[in-house]
Each structure stands twice: as C-alpha cells, then as structure tokens.
C-alpha cells in the first residue's frame, strides 16, 4: 500500500491508538487482579496509587479510545505495513516509557535490589 498525502492523519491516529491500547493493559490487568497501581487520578498523579476499581475503569477507557482511533479513523488494514508500524510504534514507545517510569516504583529499573516499598524483587529459596 502506498503512503499517500491523505494517509498521514490516519497514521497519527493509529500511532495514538497503539499508545492507548498498550496503556490499557497494565491498568486493566492490575485492577482485575485487585491490585492498586499508579494512575492520573492518584495523588500525586502518576506517582501515587489508585484503587483497583479506578484502574479497571481507566484501563477500559484507554482500550475504548484505542479502538476508536484505530477502527473508526480511516481504514486500518493490519496487512498494510505503514498502519501496523504506526500502531506498533505507539504501543512500543508508551510501553518503554511506562517501564522506565513505573519501574522506579516497583523495582523494575534495578532488579534484585530493595525498592521503596521494602519488598525485594527477588524471591529467596529457603
């Protein structure tokens, strides 16, 4: 599929669709598991913890926005390389950002060391 002049707004939409779709996953899964997790509604935003219920709702909202940006803007074709790359790049970049940002709170940036909650990320086999 050729990349025409009118395709770039679609690609921007697919990029942000990937961002929202990937962002839905940690919030929805954490909430569904009954775990609190950072969200924009916590105090301070993005650092404090929100309840499991808030995270399920936030994750679902992100999934709906991601769906709307992909399925209702332009004509997304999974086999169109430019469409899949735009979506995938958005998902990859938000995931890398999230790994670094949330890793500081959950020990993911320094595996094996104690993190601020006092929980060790390594399990001992005694």
Per-domain residue ranges of the chain: 8-106
For the chain, strand residue ranges (E) read 37-38, 49-50
Q: Enter the pTM of the model.
A: 0.80
pLDDT digits (tens, 9 = 90+) for 93-126: 999 999 998 888 877 777 776 555 544 444 444 3
Distances (CA, A) of 33 to 30, 36, 55, 117: 5, 9, 10, 19
pLDDT averaged over every residue in the chain: 86
């Amino acid at each position: 599929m050729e990349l025409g002049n009118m395709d770039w707004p679609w690609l921007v939409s697919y990029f942000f669709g990937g961002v929202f779709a990937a962002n839905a996953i940690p919030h929805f899964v954490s909430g569904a598991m009954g775990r609190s997790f950072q969200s924009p509604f916590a105090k301070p935003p993005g650092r404090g913890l929100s309840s499991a219920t808030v995270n399920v709702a936030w994750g679902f909202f992100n999934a709906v926005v991601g769906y709307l940006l992909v399925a209702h803007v332009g004509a997304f074709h999974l086999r169109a390389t430019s469409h899949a790359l735009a979506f995938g790049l958005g998902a990859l970049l938000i995931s890398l950002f999230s790994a670094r940002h949330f890793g500081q709170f959950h020990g993911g940036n320094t595996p094996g060391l104690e993190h601020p909650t006092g929980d060790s990320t390594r399990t001992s086999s005694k």
